[in-house]
Amino acid sequence: MCVDDELLSTYLDGELDEPWKTQVSEHLQYCLACRLRLGQLKALHERLQSVALTTEEMAQSKDRVLAFFEETKFPTADQKRSFWRRKIEMKVAPAILTAAAFVIVVIGSFVFFSPNTPQGQEILPGVVAPIDSEHIRQVTDVSKPNLGMFSLEQIIQHLDSLGYSVKIEMKAVTPIE
């Protein structure tokens, strides 16, 4: 007796359980008709595979959809920074009000300026300070009289309004006698 057509389809998918699997295998060895029928089912399977959408054909779609998520759903470096900044500002404010603080203001590394250039003047008006490095300004509100005119919050707001990326790092909060 020949193998049921549906069993051959299941056999082709490797989904036939024992003992039927072995029985079908043995039958196929001596039955040409069943081998031919299995060949037809296999040919259909291969024809379907041959038209499958390829990795190359979907490459653009894959990039575009991922780009959509990168633009709209994942937090960008900028968003992370501003979140961090907001958190720090809230902590800084009371310290500034109560005691003089030693604060390092780090201007985003893409901004290169000296306080004496017009851009520097725009960012830190009236500040004439020795510069330790291109990106780090030391600011204490007692030793730099001109800067003392501004609170740290005002400076940050000012820089912010000019569109600069600003990081505030509290190295230490030391009351100054």
Partner 1 sequence: MEVQSNDERSFRLVYEEVFPILMRVVYHVTGNVDLSEEICQEAFIRFFDKQMSFPSLNDAKYWLIRVSKNLAINHVKRRSREMSMVEKLKKAPSPHANTTDGEKVLIEKETRKLVQEAIEELPEKFRMVIVLKEYSDMDYKQIAQVLNISESNVKVRVYRARKMLESILSQE
Residues that bind partner 1 (CB under 8 A): 5-6, 9-10, 13, 15, 40-41, 44-45, 47-53, 55, 57-58, 61-62, 64-66, 68-69, 73-75
> Is position 173 an interface residue for Zn ion (rule: CB under 5 A)?
no
Please say whether the beta carbons of 173 and 99 come within 8 A: yes
| Least Å from the CB of residue 4 to Zn ion | 10
CA distance 65 to 70: 9
Answer for the pair 2, 31: CB distance below 8 angstroms, yes or no. Answer: yes
Interaction partner, residue 161 (partner 1, Zn ion, none; CB < 5-8 Å by kind): none
- Residue 2: which of partner 1, Zn ion, none does it interact with, CB under 5 to 8 A by kind? Zn ion
31 part of the interface to Zn ion, by CB under 5 A: yes
Q: Which of 8, 16, 24, 34 lies at the binding interface for Zn ion (CB under 5 A)?
A: 34
- Contacts of residue 90, Cβ cutoff 8 Å, sequence gap at least 6: none
Encoded tokens for 122: 């725009």
Give which of partner 1, Zn ion, none residue 34 binds (C-beta under 5 to 8 Å, depending on kind).
Answer: Zn ion
Residue 41 binding result from partner 1, Zn ion, none, given CB thresholds of 5 to 8 Å by partner type: partner 1
Q: Which residues of 92-107 are buried (b: 16+ CB within 10 A; e: fewer)?
A: beeebeeebbebebeb
Q: How far apart are CA 131 and CA 135, in angstroms?
A: 9
Residue 39: CB minimum distance to partner 1, A: 13
